[in-house]
Structure 1
Amino acid sequence: MIIEQIVTNIETMDKAEIEKRHIEKVYLESALLVKRVQRVTTDHGKDIGIRLKNSRDLVAGDVLYMDDKNLIMIEVISDDLLVIHPRSLHEMGTIAHQLGNRHLPAQFENDDMLVQYDYLVEELLQELQIPFTREERKVKQAFRHIGHSHD
């Protein structure tokens, strides 16, 4: 089976529509969500090729295939993250500047900044006394590096 487009996302589906289908999951690391072409296997052992026609990243909950009885969706594996809890705008600005200088991608959930675990960033947060926790957490989308050069 080759998937060329995403059917929908499970979060936009009606609960009754989901419950009447058998669900298979494709477990992916968040880094693989940016790959438009890849070969994956469902949790039931079904091999699937993904070759997306449009240039979009996969997102947690994307439905790759659906018929009247079955549904195959993307499930993201938990990442090892530093969850930064700045107490003020000053702390947020300080750590955002430091991480930006390192070109480290971040995501935001509510008032928390999420970055993939890096021992150097952990040491920086300790040095700056900015509160953080290290957690295994699922993210909905990939940590994407933004292309940039210092010309």
Structure 2
Amino acid sequence: MIVESVLGNLAELTEQERSGLHLERIALSGPELRRRVQRVVTDHGTEVGIRLAERRELRDGDILHREGRNAVVVSTLPTDVLVVAPATIEQMGFVAHSLGNRHLPAQFLGPGAEFEGLPGHDGVMVLQYDHTAEAYLREAGVRFARVERQMEVPFRHAEHTH
């Protein structure tokens, strides 16, 4: 089977539409979510060629094939991340500047995002795990946690010049 477009996402379906579906899942890591062309195997052993016509990232729940009650969907694998929860705006600025100079891709989530070991935060910065960033955060006394998390959007480096 060759897939050339995404048909939708499970999140767009009603509970009733999702309940009757038989799902075959394709587990992909962050870098694989960004690839337009790849060959993968579902959890049921079906080989799937992905050759997306449009330039887009795959997301958890993307429907790649649907035939009757059967669907082949993307399932994102958890990523090893550092979740940083600075205590003050001053600490946040210092941490963001220091880690930004290392050009680590980051994502920012609001106070509603829940993380084990980081209750009651005003928002967090999430980074792919990096041992030097972990050592810096520990040395600087910044509250953080290392967790496995299924990221909604894959990490990517921003294009820039100096």
Give yes or no for TM over 0.5. Answer: yes
Aligned residue number for residue 97 of structure 2: 97
**What one-letter code is carried by the residue in structure 2 that aligns with 1:88?**
T
Q: Does 1:86 align with 2:86?
A: yes
8 Å Cα contact 1:4-1:50 kept in structure 2: yes
Structure 2 unaligned blocks of 5 or more: 111-122
Structure 1 unaligned blocks of 5 or more: none
Q: Does 1:132 align with 2:150?
A: no
Deviations for 1:45-65, whole angstroms, at most 9, x for unmatched residues? 001011111111111111111
Aligned residue number for residue 123 of structure 1: 135
Task: Give the distance between the partners of 1:142 and 1:67, measured in 2 at CA.
Answer: 28
Aligned residue number for residue 47 of structure 1: 47
Deviations for 1:48-85, whole angstroms, at most 9, x for unmatched residues? 01111111111111111112211111111111111111
Q: How many residues matched? A: 150
**What one-letter code is carried by the residue in structure 1 that aligns with 2:135?**
E
Root-mean-square deviation (CA, aligned residues, Å) is 1.0
Task: Give the distance between the partners of 2:124 and 2:63, measured in 1 at CA.
Answer: 28
Give me the identity figure in percent. Answer: 41
Deviations for 1:83-136, whole angstroms, at most 9, x for unmatched residues? 111122222211111121111101122212111111100011012111000111
TM-score with structure 2 setting the length: 0.88
